[in-house]
Structure 1
Amino acid sequence: MANGGARLSIPQENPAVPPPRQSPVANANPPPRYTTAPREIESLIDSFRSANAFTRQEREMCFRSLFNLMTSSDEDEEGSSPFKDMISRLNRRALLKMASLMTSYSDSYFLKIARDKNGCNSLQELLGKSHDVDACFLGSILRRFFDVMTDRHAYCVAVQGMRVFSQEKKIEMWSHVHHHALDLACDQRGCIALKAIITVSDNSYWRNYLIGMVVLNALSLSYDAYGNFVVQHVLDLNDLRHTYNIAVRLQGRFVELSFLKYGSYIVEKLLETHDCSSVMVVAELLECEIDSLLRMTRGFHGNSVVVKALSVTQMIRADLFWGLVHKLMPSLHILRGCQESRNIAEILESVC
């Protein structure tokens, strides 16, 4: 028995002419989801308990009823629902028949449920029930791995599998995670899934191997609109070794990254470490051309980096703090004259 676990708007052709005012529509709320009737639920239970194989017509009718039941939001205050009640009445063989219905005939059945918010939650209730049931879902996850991991809801099923699957099944999952890691990191949804896997993993070897891939590719990921979130996530783990290795990978690019929205977040996180990684960032600020440093002070994102560097070094390294002060002080009149950099001028004036 496997272990259980917690679970654009369209532009107007003539913008000068306002569109006609629409009359309010009564009952504008979307219609409620179809609710599976008790008799239909009993029919489902009988079908799953039966030793007879589904005919094609029975399979399609049964899946339609099961889909409606699994995607229903009928849940009481105590968290009970018709679907949970149903699976509590099924033995392992019946649960396996239900899992097979969703996975053996077409992975589109599985994806249709997994891509629905309620359906995703229902699927997670089934994981960890038995090795055979888990094997069915693992097969569908692996066959449509990238589709699952880049979907708004479906990735949660895979993440739950990483929690409750047996070690052998987790290793199969890890093989696919590592193979698709960089593509997932650069995907809007995939980066969320990758962060979640790093968070929930209980296997330090495979987890560190994945983090190592992120560290190795930290430079390209830091420039990516979504990959940078994965780098930030690794930094948020507060592991000194991983943080230092990321800093080494980004060395020579701290100033450039500071001009970018998400890149500046990474630089600030490195400064917040108060260790050799933050020293590497400040050293680069001290070595850069004064024009670059002044441009940073006038930019929204770069300004935050300079302020962070001053506040951190004032606490932990007086020599680096005064190095930044002396580098900026000759340009104090410029800093005062620009609204964006006035906050830095105030810091300099407060210490001199």
Structure 2
Amino acid sequence: MQQHAMQRQALIQRIEADERTMTPGVLQTSVMADSHQAPYASDPNSINVGNLPQTYQPTIRESELTSRILDLMTSEDGSLRFQRSLLGQGFVYPLDLVQYIMQHGYILIIAAKDDYGIESVKVFIDFVKQYPHMFNWVTSALEENVVELMMHPTASKLILYCLRTLSYRQKLFLFQAATRNCKKLGKNAIGKVILEECIKFSQDSQRRNILNRLLYHALTLSKTSKGNLVLQFALKIGDQEFDRDICRVLKNHLEDLSTDENGSYVIEACLKSSGGEELVRKLAGLEKNELERLVTDRYANYIIQTALKISKGTSLYDELVHAIRGLSEELREENFYATKVFRCIGSLEREIKSNH
């Protein structure tokens, strides 16, 4: 919060302002000098926010006006007044207010990080999304800072709101940002939630792009406390191509990940996926010393137990049991984790016999 306040202070000098001091003329920054009507009011999609008319003459300094708008958007009472203004119930033309904010997109970034400001930004987006041309400018304003917003404790709620309320086309810039930054988002506690939501709401090629990027960073993410959760989430959506590909990618790191606290969760999820058979086959074919390392490890013993359970009744199960029973007899009595594996085999064997 202190850092946010300092950033805001650096951008603008806060001033004391009351709503009554902001007359309609104050925000008519793009209105022709001899007119009190916004020239674009009849057609919001015709706004030319990139090229203001030559007669553009703000009535007060822009920094002061920006500060007033931010004060309005980020205070409890002001936020409500701002929202009423966009509904045409306030003291300025709604489109004058919208155009000014679009010309100064950082207003949205600052406000989105504030508990009251975020509500103002939500209403702003609801207003602008009705007009495609205007919404393109909002997208441009947010794009540069969208990853920062995705990982911010307050602003991330705006991203979730956008994912749940915008049209699919309007959400594309969020999916693209998630794809480009999936490693960074996946390692962040808040970012990983946004990344999961992007996976959930995306479709077809957009989802495939995110999943492919996750594959590229799968080894790194598997070893992080948040990244492993993202991969587990992706493995639960039922995409068989992704299941198969991630099992193939992580197969060559099976021992390393199985003995890692975070990585073991990913391997367990892989085993339970539609591509898990490949990992069971890999386990059954390990060298004796490699298999023993897993059977006696505090994390990897659960991997072995999971592999046994999901392969029960198959030839792979028989191969894996045969390999485990070929290990040192002393393991059954001397190693706590190995004992759990042998007990699992005993339990599964009894189930198999009872079913016959």
TM-score, normalisation: structure 1: 0.70
The aligned residue for residue 64 of structure 1 is 71
Structure 2 matches for 1:94-133, cutoff 5 A? 94-100=93-99, 102-105=101-104, 107=106, 109-130=107-128, 131=131
Distance 1:71 1:302 in 2: 56
The verdict on how the C-alpha distance between 1:65 and 1:256 changes in structure 2, with shifts beyond 3 A counting, is: same
Which residue in 2 is equivalent to 1:158? 159
RMSD of aligned residue pairs (Cα, Å): 3.4
Shift of 1:237: 0.7
1:322 aligns with 2:318: yes
1:266: which partner in 2?
A: 266
**Aligned counterpart for 1:342 among listed residues 336, 339, 343:** 339
Q: 1:307 matched to which residue of 2? A: 305
The answer as to whether partners of 1:120 and 1:153 remain within 8 angstroms in 2 is yes
Question: Residue 298 of structure 1 contacts residue 340 of structure 1 at CA under 8 Å; is this kept in 2?
Answer: yes
Q: For residues 97 and 138 of structure 1, do their structure 2 counterparts lie closer, same or farther at Cα, with a shift above 3 Å needed? A: farther
Q: Closer, same or farther in 2 for the Cα pair 1:168/1:269, shift >3 Å?
A: closer
Equivalent residues of 1:255, 1:284 under 8 A apart = no
Alpha-carbon distance in structure 1 between the residues aligned to 2:282 and 2:218: 18
Take 1:264 and 1:85, find their aligned partners in 2: how far apart are those partners?
Answer: 52
1:43-58 superposed matches below 5 A: 51=28, 55-56=60-61, 57-58=64-65
Which residue of structure 2 lines up, in the alignment, with residue 257 of structure 1?
A: 257
For residue 295 of structure 1, what is the aligned residue in structure 2?
Answer: 293
Contact persistence 1:69–1:82 (CA under 8 A): no
Deviation at 1:47, TM superposition (A): 5.1
Q: Tell me, what secondary structure is at the counterpart of 1:127?
A: helix
Query: What does the per-residue CA deviation read over 1:321-344, in whole Å, with 9 as the maximum and x for residues that have no partner?
Result: 232222222445413333333322
2: distance between equivalents of 1:43 and 1:196?
A: 42
How far apart, CA to CA, are the structure 2 residues paired with 1:280 and 1:156? 39
| Contact 2:74–2:116 (Cα < 8 Å) also in 1 | no
Do the aligned partners of residues 83 and 303 (structure 1) sit closer, same or farther apart at CA in structure 2, a change above 3 Å counting?
farther
**Residues 291-316 of structure 1: per-residue CA shift (max 9 Å, x gap):** 333332333321221121122122xx
- 1:25 maps to what in 2? none
Shift of 1:240: 1.3
Asked whether the equivalents of residues 41 and 86 of structure 1 are also in contact (C-alpha less than 8 Å), the reply is no
1:271–1:281: 8 Å Cα contact kept in structure 2? yes
Match of residue 241 from structure 1: 241
SS in 1 for 2:339: helix
1:271-302 alpha-carbon deviations (Å, 9 max, x no partner): 112x4x22111111112233333332333321
Please give the TM-score of this superposition, normalised by the length of structure 2: 0.70
| CA deviations over 1:45-92 (Å, ceiling 9, x no partner) | x659964656233442332132113897xxxxxxxx77655644449x
Q: Indicate the SS of the match to 2:200.
A: helix
Please give the alpha-carbon distance, in whole angstroms, between the structure 1 residues aligned to 2:96 and 2:199: 32
Number of equivalenced pairs: 298
Distance 1:328 1:309 in 2: 12
Instruction: Name the SS of the counterpart of 2:234 in structure 1.
Output: helix
Structure 1 residues 124 and 298 mapped into 2: Cα distance closer, same or farther (>3 Å)? farther
In the alignment, the residues of structure 2 paired with residue 47 and residue 337 of structure 1 have an alpha-carbon distance, to the nearest angstrom, of: 83
Bigger relative CO (Cα 8 Å, ≥ 6 apart)? 1
Q: Distance in 2 between matches of 1:246 and 1:189?
A: 24
1:300 is paired with a residue of what secondary structure?
coil
Q: Is the 8 A contact 1:259 1:296 kept in 2?
A: yes
CA shift at 1:166, angstroms? 5.4
Q: Name the aligned partner's letter for residue 72 of structure 2.
A: S
Partner of 1:147: 148
Relative to structure 1, the CA distance from residue 344 to residue 332 in structure 2 (aligned partners, 3 Å threshold; closer, same or farther) is farther
**Cα contact 1:124–1:157 (8 A) shared by 2:** yes
Q: Quote how far apart the aligned CAs of 1:128 are.
A: 3.2
Alpha-carbon distance in 2 for matches of 1:323, 1:232: 27
Q: Which has the larger radius of gyration?
A: 2
What per-residue deviation string (whole Å, max 9, x for no partner) do you get for residues 14-41 of structure 1?
A: xxxxxxxxxxxxxxxxxxxxxxxxx956
Q: Which runs of 5+ in 2 are unaligned?
A: 1-16, 30-57, 351-356
Higher deviation after alignment, 280-289 or 225-234: 225-234
2:331–2:339 CA contact under 8 A, matched in 1 = no
The 1:223–1:49 alpha-carbon spacing in structure 2 relative to 1, beyond 3 Å, is same
Inter-CA distance 58–349: structure 2 relative to 1 (3 Å threshold)? closer
> Which residues of structure 1 form unaligned runs of 5+?
1-38, 73-80
Q: Give the Cα–Cα distance (whole angstroms) in 2 for the partners of residues 291 and 267 of structure 1.
A: 20
Sequence identity (%): 17
Bigger shift: residues 252-261 or 329-338: 329-338
Query: Is the 8 Å Cα contact of residues 48 and 94 (structure 1) preserved in structure 2?
Result: no
- Alpha carbons 2:105, 2:142 under 8 Å: kept: no
**Corresponding position: 1:195 with 2:196:** yes
Distance in 1 of aligned mates of 2:272 and 2:308: 11
